[in-house]
Amino acid sequence: MGVLHKLLSASLVMLSAWSADVPAQAWPTRPISLVVPFAAGGPTDVVARTLAASMSKTLGQTVIVENKVGAGGTIAAAFVAKAAPDGYTLFIHHNGMATSTALYRKLPYDALADFEYIGQAVDVPMTLLARKDFPANNLTELIAYVRANQDKINLANAGLGAVSQLCGLMFERALGVKFTAIPFQGTAPAMQALLGGQVDLLCDQTTQTIPQIKAGSVKFYGVTTRNRIKALPEAPTLAEQGLKDFEVLVWHGIYAPRGTPRPVLASLNAALRTALKDPDVTRRMAELGAEVVPESKQSPEGLQTWLKSEIDKWGPVIKAAGAFAD
């Protein structure tokens, strides 16, 4: 019986190992869904579609972008968290993956525990803008004007949890002021309101603002990264103009449901890394003012570490501003 028991145990171990490898060996046999939590045509959607086209070539199956809009990205996140962990449902999200933990009192998922990490992809800088006829012509003038007239100034954003809102909160915090917030359903209508002179200030991504900056349609005060960016090499950062440590950028990470097999995750990470070296991807990102992240951030561990650091960074800012959703 002892020998039989040992043989049976060995057989079960072999069967278990074989079963665990089957999904990886067979995967992928059908299209893969990459869920985007924002509307088609928006900045995150553009990044997602660019990456999906390249990853499809590496994986041998089409990566289809699926837009699930609403509640600052939490609807899409909850959907992916509950999806089958088979490698056929992926999720791309920006800073909202971190900030939702502070913005929403109750979430139907745990941002850190309910996902597997594939890797970080690209960073998109933010830019601080004003309507074309705004009195301040540079950041020094803007700071002085804002401090003297804060009760008369409004600042547009793309809604609760949008990076444009977070950038505005950080700007308020840096200056010790409070503006009237004007939320819109996305960055496009917010930009239209700025161009039309209906709002005063807007902090938005280079993917949306570079054409307006180059056309002179807005007043431009600087970029929000620590270093100057390739897309606007002559433009100073806010930090170098006196707002010490001011840094806000839109980062994008790709996730899978918790429990997705490790060989599948490894294949997805390899496909992402290949995409980030694809000349078509790097060219398109450069056109948008986006920059591929360093290789250390392209790893699952890099994304996980970054997400935790962003949760720690934005939690106090959001709580201090009292910006909560039910």
Q: What is the pLDDT of residues 69-103, one digit of tens each?
A: 888 889 999 999 999 999 999 999 999 999 999 98
Tens digits of residue pLDDT in 292-323: 999 999 999 999 999 999 999 888 888 887 76
The whole-number pLDDT of residue 149 equals 96
Listed in order, strand segments (DSSP E) in the chain are 32-36, 63-67, 89-93, 115-130, 154-157, 180-183, 201-205, 219-223, 249-257, 291-292
- What's the full length of the chain, in residues? 326
Q: How far apart are CA 7 and CA 24, in angstroms?
A: 27
Q: What is the pLDDT at residue 13?
A: 43
Strand 115-130 with 219-223, pairing: antiparallel
Q: What proportion of the chain, given as a percentage, has pLDDT over 70?
A: 91
141 Cβ neighbours under 8 A, 6+ residues apart: 135
β-partners of residue 65 are 34
Of the candidates 172, 174, 127, the one whose C-alpha atom is nearest the C-alpha of residue 153 is 172
Using one digit for the tens of pLDDT, what is the confidence trace for 231-288?
899 999 999 999 998 999 899 999 999 999 999 999 999 999 999 999 999 999 988 8
